[in-house]
Amino acid sequence: MQAVDSLMFITQRPDLTFVRGEGSWLYDRAGDAYLDFVQGWAVNALGHTPALMREALAAQATQLINVSPAYYNEPMRRFAARLAALSGLERVFFANSGAEANEGAIKLARKWGARERGGAHEIVVFEDAFHGRTLATMSASGKAGWERLFEPKVPGFVRVPRDSLDAVRRAIGPRTCAVMLEPIQGEAGVVPFQDTFLRQLRELTRELGVLLVLDEIQTGIGRTGRMFCYEHVGIRPDILTLGKGIGGGVPLAALLASERASVFQAGEQGGTFNGNPLMTAVGDAVVAEVARPGFLAQVAENGTYLAERLRALSAKRSLGEVRGRGLLLALELGRPRGAEVVQRALEARLLINSPRAACLRFMPALNVTRDEIEEMLARLRSAL
């Protein structure tokens, strides 16, 4: 059948249809190979169609694909135990997307505030934050251009500037239940919070008796060279959200919380596909691989290598800063030509992304090779 575009318009897509993927490579209908440094927006932790995921899917598909979330299933229990052990947070709720996990985090923080802090419901959030595209998560986000979109927004979010502990302190009052942030703001252009700020924020939230919620949907599951980005600074949140890389490409996300913050009562949280055995079996296999001894050290090494190579390119071409951690990196271009470079890179069969007009973002598979990094740089040079 001749394909017509019956898809609802949500974004301008290039006139390409991908039919196959393997590792860092994607193939279109014509059989042309594209080097993929987008990887589903930092999702395909192990690259395209890894054997480990195919095997986990096939094995689980012969056993059990779906039961109601009203019942236990084996992969759901196994994977929850693995995440709890890795994070030090005792309770896990599975969701289907990052935004849904964040909605759950917002609800959980509000419920905790209702129960433990006299009805406190406000959440302190940050400028330029990105927490998703549902109404509450858009309301929590500080993305430019969203201020007046889909009004009225969900109330109860107080926005402060990045890295200002004073502003957070001033914003926290008797109605505050939590502070919520991404340790590195990915969609804002890979902008990290300062390590000292994160440590002081952990102290402050403890001192003032409010919850710390970390959105590690982009930074979690090895992306920054540690399983969770908060490990770099030696803190632990009360509530944590994971998505993207947690399923390696299947729709899966998670909301984790300490025992103290796990205050949902029966009927307050749920959803048809939550904890689905097919998805959790795959997530469990992916995270087991990322947790394998040596895997994260390799991510950190390749991250350092990619950053050094990008810095050399930047120096040579008089571009700007290279920032980020592990394999979540951005290169400032100095001028708002991100979209143009992305288009030229596409012509050179390289997929990269420009989250802000003057910067490029690199989020390859966590098992990307040095040769692939070199090939990416060669194509990027020609695109520049």
Residue number of the CB closest to ligand PLP reads: 98
Query: Of these, 23, 47, 75, 98, which contacts ligand PLP (CB under 6 A)?
Result: 98
State yes or no: residue 103 binds ligand PLP (CB under 6 A).
no
State yes or no: residue 220 binds ligand PLP (CB under 6 A).
no
**Amino acid residing at 341:** V
Q: Distance between CA 361 and CA 185 in Å, rounded?
A: 12
Q: Is 244 a catalytic residue?
A: yes
Q: How far is CA 194 from CA 18, 71, 184, in A?
A: 39, 43, 9
Q: Distance between CA 256 and CA 91 in Å, rounded?
A: 6
Residue 361 DSSP SS3: strand
Catalytic one of 36, 128, 215, 238: 215
Rounded to a whole number of angstroms, the minimum distance from the CB of residue 353 to ligand PLP is 11
State yes or no: residue 138 binds ligand PLP (CB under 6 A).
no
What mask of x and - would describe binding to ligand PLP in positions 20 to 59, judged by CB under 6 A?
---------------------x------------------
- The answer to whether the beta carbons of residues 290 and 227 sit under 8 Å apart is yes
Nearer to ligand PLP, 138 or 168 (CB): 138
State yes or no: residue 99 binds ligand PLP (CB under 6 A).
yes
State yes or no: residue 356 binds ligand PLP (CB under 6 A).
no
Q: How far is CA 34 from CA 18, 29, 39, 244, 274, in A?
A: 10, 12, 11, 21, 34
Q: Is 28 a catalytic residue?
A: no
Footprint of ligand PLP on 160-219 (CB under 6 A): 182, 186-187, 215, 217-218
**The tokens of 30 are what?**
């014509």
First to last CA, the chain: 39
Q: How many residues bind ligand PLP (CB under 6 A)?
A: 15
Nearer to ligand PLP, 91 or 361 (CB): 361
Between β-strands 184-185 and 191-192, what pairing exists: parallel, antiparallel or unpaired? antiparallel
Task: Indicate left, alpha or beta for 293 from its phi (over 0: left) and psi (-120 to 50: alpha).
Answer: beta
Nearer to ligand PLP, 79 or 379 (CB): 79
Site residues for ligand PLP per CB under 6 A: 41, 97-99, 102, 130-132, 182, 186-187, 215, 217-218, 243
